[in-house]
Amino acid sequence: METKTILLDAAETLARSRGFDGFSYGDLADCVGIRKASIHYHYPTKGDLSVALISRYRETVLDRLARISECESRASGRLLAFLDLYRAALQGGRSLCLCIAFSVTQSALPDETRQDVKRFHKEVAQWLETVFRLARGDGTIRAVTDPGAEAHGALALVEGAHIVARAATDMARFEAAIDTLRTRAI
Interior CA angle at 142 toward 123 and 62, to 5°?
20
pLDDT digits (tens, 9 = 90+) for 115-136: 999 999 999 999 999 999 999 9
- Count CB atoms within 10 A of the CB of residue 171: 17
CA distance 168 to 150: 27
Q: What is the pTM of this model?
A: 0.95
Report the chain's mean pLDDT, rounded to a whole number: 96
Question: Does the pLDDT of residue 100 top 80, yes or no?
Answer: yes
How many other CB atoms are there within 10 angstroms of residue 15's CB atom? 25
Q: Where in the chain are the domains?
A: 51-182
Query: Which among 113, 119, 110, 108 is positioned nearest to 19, based on CA atoms?
Result: 108
Residue 185, helix vs strand vs coil? strand
Question: Which pLDDT does position 66 carry in this prediction?
Answer: 98
**CATH number, span 51-182:** 1.10.357.10
pLDDT band at residue 147 using 50, 70 and 90 as cut-offs: very high
Dmax (CA) for the chain in angstroms is 56
Q: Residue 156: how many CB atoms within 10 A of its CB?
A: 12
